[in-house]
Amino acid sequence: MPGMNSGLSPADPTLVAAFRSALLHQSAIALLVAVFCWLIWATARTWRFGAPGTRPGGADSAPAGGEAPGRRLLRIGFGLLWLGDGALQAQPKLAGGLASQVIEPTASASPGWVQHLVNWGGTAWSYHPIQAGAATVWIQVGIGAWLIVASRGTWSRLAGLASIGWGLAVWAFGESFGGIFAPGLSVLTGAPGAVLIYVVAGALIALPDRAWRSPRLGRLLLGGMGLFFLGMAMLQAWPGRGYWQGTSGGKPGTLTGMVQTMSATPQPHVLSALLSAFGSFTARYGFAVNLFVVIVLAALGAILLTGRPALIRYGLCFGIAFFLADWVLVQDLGFLGGLGTDPNSMIPLSLLAVAGYLALTPAPQTDAVPAAEAIAGGEEGGHAPGWGGRLRELRPTSVGGAVATASARTVAAVSAVALVVLGAAPMAAAAVNRTADPILALAIAGGSTDLNVPAPGFSLTDQNGNTVTLASMRGKVVLLTFLDPVCTTDCPIIAGELKQAGAMLGRQAADVELVAIVANPTYHSAAFTRAFDQQEGLASVRNWRYLTGSLSQLSDVWRAYGVTVLNEPAGAMSAHNDIAAVIDRTGRIREELGTDPGPATTSTRSSFSVLLAQYARQALGSS
């Protein structure tokens, strides 16, 4: 999966610092947006209701209609889950580690078409880890806050739709469709994907209020869950999947291996000891453990299908106890270790099941809604204005009146939507930008050095036999590096990055020279530079110059630019430090950075090219 892994450590200090800085800056923006929304609302209310003898109406002075208990549980419960997921997403290691440490392992066990799709989506993350990581935080925090503060009407149903949309994106690209196409699928380990349960909850929240006034919704929901648990019981009982064996051939069975892996996650000792003990128990009594799981799932599914509230109540009590045990003993709470993104599936499943039980009792038929919420939320049952009325609503006085009569919950919902937009906009930009963030190159290079010193002059010969001096390139920006023409490792990669940087410059490339100087004391003739150009596709690049000269001339240039070149003991390649210098139009070095390609993944190669092109543009503008 070439686009998924940047090759950098999730704990890379440059990435961690950049992620923390992005979150701090965006937190300030989020705070300003929220303050702005509340100030606009307060100002509108002051102008409208500030006259003597008038007082504000709206949500605070009108009786509110009752929300169905099951809907309220889903809305608040999953709102809190989204908030928690957003907080987990802010963990320092997740920006650099989500794609390679979380998404890629799951996708790698799935069929090729799933890998291809997930790789396409994951590339946006690995190319833009800071931008995508921070965006995810705000999207999830925004959806969570939106669900909690918007209790009724259109605003609340839109929050459910937002949960569906983002949940499906995470389920497909972040969870590889919950691993349903991978071997070893089991409800114990999180099938069919925790976020898919968020999607179901969002769909239920998005339903019109009238759907919650009948026990039919509860029966359908619990019936669907009953079929799901029966299906999972059959899958759990299916032979040949490793769940019936605690150990097999001296190796741990499927469930035993899962528990033992989770016990090695960095976590409090009491949890790791508990998981280790359960892993040992499962290894010894694997058949009995799986038999118990199959019976519980089948019994729970059958009970939910009965539709009898009394029986379902006792079944859910036992089922939730089973869910919690699995959450601790198998899923290991889901969010530990610094790379956890959610509490896995058992808590969402429990919320969904309880909401289904509550929905068996119809909500009150009365649906009185505060006037302000009806205006702001578009509560169903009202009369939609015609186009003339809609146009009149856009007049300043009408807009001001609508803002003034809005409820506090509506203002809070607007603020939450602003958080979602704060994340969605940069996430969309990252998805369509197929070049990588230069932060990856800076992380590999350890940063760059801002300079403003004269570049040492030289007089060498290019690949075509023409004499080239630094003075002859005055008036153009020079991207200068040192390459070994017989190198088969780093140098071809660096040359490709320079070539791509030139392509990124577009028309500005006419004012930029891409220059490499030979870094090999033995093989430095023009024949070798021409062969290198042909092999790396550089012969047709108009602004590419590969310079060489006598060993004495080259040694002087190496010394002047701080490049150490040594012959390798057992081969033709040379050992040299990888550096690049950005020289402005006046012949002064503006930037110097290491060009060691590091892991040389597709994202880091793109990142170096973007960084070099960025420095070239800066030099063009500053001289």
Q: In which element (H, E) is residue 480 found?
A: strand 477-483
Confidence of residue 56 (pLDDT cuts 50, 70, 90): low
State the DSSP string of 46-82: HHHH-STT----SGGGSPPPPPPHHHHHHHHHHHHHH
Residue 551 reports pLDDT greater than 80: yes
The top-level CATH class assigned to 439-622 is alpha beta
Measured CA to CA, the distance from residue 38 to residue 45 in angstroms comes to 11
Question: pLDDT tens, 93-151?
Answer: 999 999 888 898 889 989 999 999 999 888 999 999 999 999 999 999 999 999 999 99
Size of the chain, expressed as the number of residues it contains: 623
> Under DSSP, is residue 468 helix (H, G, I), strand (E, B) or coil?
strand
Q: CATH 3.40.30.10 residue ranges in the chain?
A: 439-622
Rounded to two decimals, the pTM is 0.89
> Under DSSP, is residue 484 helix (H, G, I), strand (E, B) or coil?
coil
Q: What is the pLDDT of residue 373?
A: 45
Confidence of residue 7 (pLDDT cuts 50, 70, 90): confident
Q: What is the pLDDT of residue 280?
A: 95
Give the rounded distance of the alpha carbon of 153 from its chain centre.
30
Residue 187 reports pLDDT greater than 70: yes
Q: What is the pLDDT of residue 623?
A: 60
Question: Residue 231: what are its φ and ψ, rounded to 5°?
Answer: -65, -40
CB-based contacts of 389: which residues, under 8 Å, 6+ apart? none
Question: pLDDT tens, 455-490?
Answer: 999 999 999 999 999 999 999 999 999 999 999 999
Confidence of residue 6 (pLDDT cuts 50, 70, 90): confident
Q: In what order do the strands lie in the sheet with 477-483?
A: 448-454, 588-594, 579-583, 477-483, 512-518, 544-547
> Pick from 514, 468, 479: which is nearest to 592 by CA?
479
Question: pLDDT tens, 392-414?
Answer: 444 555 566 678 788 899 999 99
